[in-house]
Structure 1
Amino acid sequence: MTTDTRPLLVELLTEELPPKALQKLGQAFAEGIRGTLAKHGLLADDSQAAVFATPRRLAVRLSAVRDQAPDQDYTEKLMPVKVGLDADGKPTPALIKKLAAKGLENLDPATLARESDGKQDYLIARGTAPGAKLADGLQEGLQAAIDGLPIPKVMRYQLADGVTSVKFVRPAHSLIALHGADVIPVSILGLSAGRSTLGHRFMCTGPVEIADANTYETTLAEQGRVIASFEARRADIDRQLQAHASRLSATLGDDPEVVALLDEVTALVEHPTVYEGQFDEQFLQVPQECLILTMRLNQKYFPLFDPTTGKLTHHFLIVSNMQTDNPVNIVEGNQRVVRPRLADAQFFFDTDRKTPLAARVEQLGTIVYHNKLGTQLERVERVRAIARTIAEQLGSDVAAADRAALLAKADLGSNMVGEFPELQGIMGAYYAAGDGEPEAVVHALREQYRIRLDAPVSAEALTAATLFIAERAETLIGIWGIGLAPTGERDPFGLRRAALGLISAFEQLAAGGWLAASADGPLSLHGLLSLAAKTFPADKIPADTCNDVRTFIYERYRNQLIGEFDRNAVDAVIALAPPLHQVAARVRAVTAFGLLPEAASLAAANKRIGNLLKKADGEIGNIDAARLTEPAEQALAAAVAELRPRAEAQLQAGDFAGSLSTLAQARQPVDAFFADVMVMAEDPGVRANRLALLAQLHGLMNQVADISRLAQ
């Protein structure tokens, strides 16, 4: 056996791979090979993986790979002696079959050891097995890599022999497997490994020969005009984009779509070159969201923005797969292509403005929202009813809330939204502004599709928050009510997102001063969901829907909070299902309480009290002071009487941390009580009185959270 370690390169050349999946495909391909070789002991401890992915290839280089894995000592427990050997000590058919299954058919049964497990003797095979060979391990790794690619659908295609068919994400054309400079004899998808690949589809002619694994990137870049590394290609594109934008005194913008588009174009080109294009400034009269969307979505261009105003400019950047000294044809060709797209957007906008947004509401009666929930117009009427009540509760402009809800879905019938569904709400806001609708209404239409509210709600934004809440409450109750609650990863109606949106709205209403920290209202989650349920026909929504949705929302909140706070602190608060807008403040208070030296003792006592109260017979009555005969129970009763009004006042003031801090002062009398007093006394009257005292203490302890959840 040799201990030689050399770099290993594996490349699979294909037709163009799905761009949005390319990064994941590259990582999965590399991990399938790396993981299999590691399993067989073929990787050195310090071996590093370099992953490559271009539109037409998946590849990986492992820096230190053995020709053959080290020999492995093995111990195999086979079967009981009485099963494996007959009366004459000869191997039974069962033993022979077992040895063959383990690959030990050449082993002499007479050499098998015997060991007892305390009940019976077993036959044990011991020896040294030769380590796996690289060719065998790599063959298995290739198959594992192909089988493990994250692709929902594969295509079947016929090989050159005209008979054999294989399945893969795209037709594959060549395979490289180099251990150092040596070709490893493996095959996959009808391809035998070699050292030849193809370079850039247009800037390279003929095959590219890879001399050894370490020269892969440089050879492919110099001879094939291909940047093999996804990360290096992405960084190169980003550098070029920033340089061109700077030269034009513009920016690429900072929204997430820029990053997503950068990833996508990286997966579309093998040798990126960025060029500058422009369009007629007259198109800037169209809402910039329309122009941005058509350039990014349809043409994969990067629009440029004025760094001072953030407004769209008439310049854009093109990421081309061709490098040329004279890019005039490329630039002019792209400008010719984008012009009719922008002209279409201008036509849609101009045509839509001829019809007032309010006049489109009636058309919603012909658009089905869901076959069990009726049309979009019926949905609008439900949202209007919810929005009006919320506005009344919050002291907002009821008429503005009703108007916003009436117009919220009207742009669904517009030409622009028909072409670009992503612009729902945005176009409604533009059309409403053009119709002279109040600014509060325009703002509400623009904000209605946000994922969450991320700033305290101001008076100017209250109508928008009202519509935001009403729409999500109607969605949650309606969709859940017809049996379409999320299951596993399936959530086609976005109920998880709607729940998180509602949570953010309650948080930001509280931050804006519309929901007091000490009060349940004026708007409560339970009241909101009940209100939404009443807007549906009586037979449409099952009676338990509101409770189920409420539980679902608190569970979403729990999942969100445990990423930031201690799980036990979060569970302690969620267990009480307090007013939604108070949850985060209570969790912070419980987290601080958990750091106090009194916390652990009080949490344990609280848990013990809860268990005792569960065992109580009948209803727990009031405390009879005359029956408090033990000094420890008298001291505890006095402490409860003293601390209770102070803790309740702090709770009512929203001072959750202060209320818990007051509770911490009960530690000494609580500890003394459990040390000196027998709660479950033989005298029923004494026992009932002590349980009544503990019930009062339990209520005092659990005003902010169920602190028994903090007990370890």
Structure 2
Amino acid sequence: MTAQNLLVELFVEELPPKALKKLGDAFAQVLAQRLVSQGLAPQDAVVTPFASPRRLAAHITGVLARAADRAVSQKLMPVAVGLDASGQPTPALLKRLGALGADASAVAGLRRAPDGKAEALFFDSVAPGVDLAAGLQSALDDALAQLPIPKVMTYQLESGCDLPGWTSVQFVRPAHGLVALHGSSVVPVKALGLQAGNATHGHRFEARIDPVPLPSADAYADTLAADGAVIASFAERRAEIQRQLAAAAERVGGGCRPIEDDALLDEVTALVERPNVLVCEFERQFLEVPQECLILTMKANQKYFPLLDAQGRLTHRFLVVSNIRPDDASAVVGGNERVVRPRLADAKFFFDQDRKKTLQSRVEGLGKVVYHNKLGTQGERMERVRAIARSIGQQLGGDLLAKQADTAAQLAKTDLLTDMVGEFPELQGIMGGYYARHDGLTEDIAFAIEDHYRPRFAGDELPRNPVGLVVALADKLETLVGMFGIGNLPTGDKDPFALRRHALGVIRMLTERDLPLDLTGLVRAAVPAFGSLITDPTEALTDFMFDRLAGSLREQAYSAQEVDAVLALRPARLGDVARRLQAVRSFAALPEAAALAAANKRIGNILKKSDGVGASVNAALLAEPAEQALAAAIGATVPGADARFEQGDYTASLQALAALRAPVDAFFDGVMVNADDPALKANRLALLQQLHTAMNRVADLARLAA
């Protein structure tokens, strides 16, 4: 049967731009999957999604007009149930055959085959392949039903029923056209009250003809581009916008480049059908405003691409992606320049007004802002952060760092009360840094205020200086301890206070800056700042944070065994974790590793069952040659391993222990630990305790045992 390519398009009103790409991909993939499952398309069919502001479409290769017939074998029932003693069909068998559209004449053709311990009857038949019209209808219904629609609209059909306007339809946006072409033939399917045809609509204003007839499935993209002035492919349209942005920046010169923002590029791609990038500009006086404010208002409110110079500074020019290509674009350019001017003027006004008050003068206002009904106001929260920051600063840098951290923590949240942050919440912290400099505060304090939210997401930079690092740690610890202390824990995919992100932020700072701080100690030291507001969450929160660390490490290609072995010891200094993991990996590659890990596990089990173990080994009670040899090996090996451990050379420390394999094996082969003589037993347990301690300084080696 000859296969041809299939094109299905749904023409709708403007789709939500942030969801367009996902909608287009889902529509094409589900449609193709359903056709493949029905035998109408091959497993290796090439699926091309199309998505523009007013259409979702899919092109699928190698689709059959009718699927091939399929051999079907259906188990009926055990032979003993279907046939009586004389071999005649029972009423139960005849009833089952009738349900399948067969009668008693089919009994002779039933197949017998083993089915477990018994023999069963099977009815073999041929199921006719599904027709494309029926199969595509089913696939189309499924594709529409499974679309990840952010919000459904209800609208009424304009025509096509006996009582126009009385039939309601639900979809992401009102649909106005349906195309289904198999080669050049229309497939008679329906969707959302529409009958499939072979014509679509192009650009609202620049299409050469309307409607746009499609000669075949394969001509879809080219015809729509030539006659409809539409680039139907999301990917091609995105690439064209990128090309035009780069070309426009090059025309401006001076090493200018458009700001890089994939989310903005995707959104703009979803807003235009025929992109046309134009260069616009605004008055240079607005460059007195922090560039973050101008960039944010241009991107968020207007979907413009600001132009940066070679040094990364904002210029007074920006790029607009227009949806039309007039011969004279001056009106479009002028219109966009007029639109952006009030936005920038608002930003300048907010900036000028905010600087009339110092950050210090806003501290009192934090007491009027509710943070959480169980944890008080932002003012009370600020005092807790200050206390935690002073404690951490004292540990890391003494009185000077503690004082700087206290000042920065006091002022860190005050920009929440400014007009600029009220208009653009994304600028919190950033504006605080600018206002701190305006108030004459030092760069250390300004950077700390700006950076105390970092890291804000995976891969974000850490705070730039020690003051910022201390305040960022204090801020995140206050949130974690407070929320865990009132039982407000993350559940499933719900984490409204971003506690998982805060935990990873603390872990990254402790790890990547190799801070000499104990995680459990940090959590415990933060608890007193809350007084009687919370229940001590140290144990639960520490477990949570080590779980987050374990998950993060596994994502970095460390095995579960390696991670469990290291984190089982709850290392006091997280900066050591990476070196410990590398040491464990190197140790596991040694031929002695498996035997020592198994022995370590055995020793641990023995010690758990013992009631108290002596602290020292009495050499006079070492009666057996094997235990004497083990004691000697420990004495010769462990001091060197311990010295390397203290130096931070964990790999060498663990590898030195490989020399213990033979004496450990000999000990368990020739010595009875649970001797009848209590003194001998206690001495042997003390020897094993000494060995166990030496073997588990870097990691719990028992976790490496298979």
TM interval, shorter chain, is over 0.9
Asked whether the equivalents of residues 55 and 270 of structure 1 are also in contact (C-alpha less than 8 Å), the reply is yes
RMSD: 2.4
Question: Could you tell me how far apart the structure 1 residues matched to 2:102 and 2:613 are?
Answer: 72
TM-score (normalizing by structure 1): 0.93
For this pair of structures, how many residues does the alignment match? Answer: 694
Question: What does residue 620 of structure 2 align with?
Answer: 626
Question: Could you tell me how far apart the structure 2 residues matched to 1:324 and 1:202 are?
Answer: 10
Question: Could you tell me how far apart the structure 2 residues matched to 1:105 and 1:542 are?
Answer: 75
Question: Could you tell me how far apart the structure 2 residues matched to 1:24 and 1:574 are?
Answer: 39
Pair 636,428 (structure 1): closer, same or farther in 2 beyond 3 Å: same
CA offsets per residue over residues 584-611 of structure 1, 9 Å max, x none?
Answer: 2211221222222222222222223223
Pair 136,437 (structure 1): closer, same or farther in 2 beyond 3 Å: same
Q: Residue type matched to 1:408 in 2? A: A
CA offsets per residue over residues 324-351 of structure 1, 9 Å max, x none?
Answer: 2210110000000000000000000000
User: How do 1:115-126 and structure 2 match up within 5 A?
Assistant: 115-117=113-115, 119-126=117-124
State whether structure 2 residue 542 is matched by structure 1 residue 550: yes
Asked whether the equivalents of residues 454 and 508 of structure 1 are also in contact (C-alpha less than 8 Å), the reply is no
Question: What does residue 178 of structure 1 align with?
Answer: 181
Q: Residue type matched to 1:375 in 2? A: T
User: How do 1:534-573 and structure 2 match up within 5 A?
Assistant: 534-538=528-532, 540-543=533-536, 545-564=537-556, 565-573=558-566
Q: Secondary structure at the match of 1:213?
A: coil
State whether structure 2 residue 646 is matched by structure 1 residue 647: no
Pair 422,636 (structure 1): closer, same or farther in 2 beyond 3 Å: same
Question: What does residue 447 of structure 1 align with?
Answer: 451
CA offsets per residue over residues 20-51 of structure 1, 9 Å max, x none?
Answer: 11111111111111111111222224421111
Q: Which range is displaced more, 19-28 or 126-135? A: 126-135
Q: Residue type matched to 2:21 in 1? A: Q
How many Å apart are 1:676 and its aligned residue? 3.5
Question: What does residue 430 of structure 2 align with?
Answer: 426
Q: Which one of the candidate residues 134, 137, 156 is aligned to 1:136? A: 134
Question: Could you tell me how far apart the structure 2 residues matched to 1:107 and 1:442 are?
Answer: 92
State whether structure 2 residue 705 is matched by structure 1 residue 711: yes
Pair 48,433 (structure 1): closer, same or farther in 2 beyond 3 Å: same
User: How do 1:220-239 and structure 2 match up within 5 A?
Assistant: 220-239=224-243
Gaps of 5+ in 2: 159-163
Question: What does residue 584 of structure 1 align with?
Answer: 578
CA offsets per residue over residues 538-570 of structure 1, 9 Å max, x none?
Answer: 2x3223x11111111111111111122233211
Asked whether the equivalents of residues 563 and 581 of structure 2 are also in contact (C-alpha less than 8 Å), the reply is yes
How many Å apart are 1:246 and its aligned residue? 1.5
Q: Which range is displaced more, 658-667 or 78-87? A: 78-87
Q: Which one of the candidate residues 36, 52, 62 is aligned to 1:54? A: 52
How many Å apart are 1:109 and its aligned residue? 4.4
How many Å apart are 1:620 and its aligned residue? 5.8
How many Å apart are 1:643 and its aligned residue? 2.0
Question: Could you tell me how far apart the structure 2 residues matched to 1:220 and 1:678 are?
Answer: 86
Q: Secondary structure at the match of 1:581?
A: helix
Question: What does residue 383 of structure 2 align with?
Answer: 381
Question: Could you tell me how far apart the structure 2 residues matched to 1:107 and 1:35 are?
Answer: 39
Asked whether the equivalents of residues 613 and 686 of structure 2 are also in contact (C-alpha less than 8 Å), the reply is no
Asked whether the equivalents of residues 252 and 303 of structure 1 are also in contact (C-alpha less than 8 Å), the reply is no
Q: Residue type matched to 1:421 in 2? A: P
Question: What does residue 17 of structure 2 align with?
Answer: 19
How many Å apart are 1:685 and its aligned residue? 4.6
State whether structure 2 residue 632 is matched by structure 1 residue 638: yes
User: How do 1:376-415 and structure 2 match up within 5 A?
Assistant: 376-396=378-398, 397-415=401-419
CA offsets per residue over residues 524-547 of structure 1, 9 Å max, x none?
Answer: 211211122111132x3223x111
Question: What does residue 480 of structure 1 align with?
Answer: 484
How many Å apart are 1:135 and its aligned residue? 2.0
How many Å apart are 1:456 and its aligned residue? 10
Question: What does residue 288 of structure 2 align with?
Answer: 285
Asked whether the equivalents of residues 252 and 302 of structure 1 are also in contact (C-alpha less than 8 Å), the reply is no
Identity of aligned residues (%): 53
Question: Could you tell me how far apart the structure 2 residues matched to 1:429 and 1:283 are?
Answer: 19
Question: What does residue 277 of structure 2 align with?
Answer: 274
Asked whether the equivalents of residues 701 and 707 of structure 1 are also in contact (C-alpha less than 8 Å), the reply is yes
Gaps of 5+ in 1: 516-522
Asked whether the equivalents of residues 76 and 126 of structure 1 are also in contact (C-alpha less than 8 Å), the reply is yes
Question: Could you tell me how far apart the structure 2 residues matched to 1:82 and 1:300 are?
Answer: 74
Q: Secondary structure at the match of 1:542?
A: coil
Question: What does residue 568 of structure 2 align with?
Answer: 575
CA offsets per residue over residues 598-631 of structure 1, 9 Å max, x none?
Answer: 2222222222322333333555664333333332
Question: What does residue 195 of structure 1 align with?
Answer: 198
How many Å apart are 1:671 and its aligned residue? 2.7
Asked whether the equivalents of residues 478 and 541 of structure 1 are also in contact (C-alpha less than 8 Å), the reply is yes
State whether structure 2 residue 587 is matched by structure 1 residue 593: yes
TM-score (normalizing by structure 2): 0.93
Q: Secondary structure at the match of 1:185?
A: coil
Q: Which one of the candidate residues 497, 507, 517 is aligned to 1:503? A: 507
Question: Could you tell me how far apart the structure 1 residues matched to 2:45 and 2:101 are?
Answer: 30
Asked whether the equivalents of residues 252 and 258 of structure 1 are also in contact (C-alpha less than 8 Å), the reply is no
Pair 152,537 (structure 1): closer, same or farther in 2 beyond 3 Å: farther
Q: Which range is displaced more, 273-282 or 258-267? A: 258-267
How many Å apart are 1:666 and its aligned residue? 1.5
Q: Which one of the candidate residues 302, 305, 310 is aligned to 1:299? A: 302
Asked whether the equivalents of residues 22 and 267 of structure 1 are also in contact (C-alpha less than 8 Å), the reply is yes
Q: Which one of the candidate residues 40, 52, 55 is aligned to 1:42? A: 40
Question: Could you tell me how far apart the structure 1 residues matched to 2:103 and 2:612 are?
Answer: 73
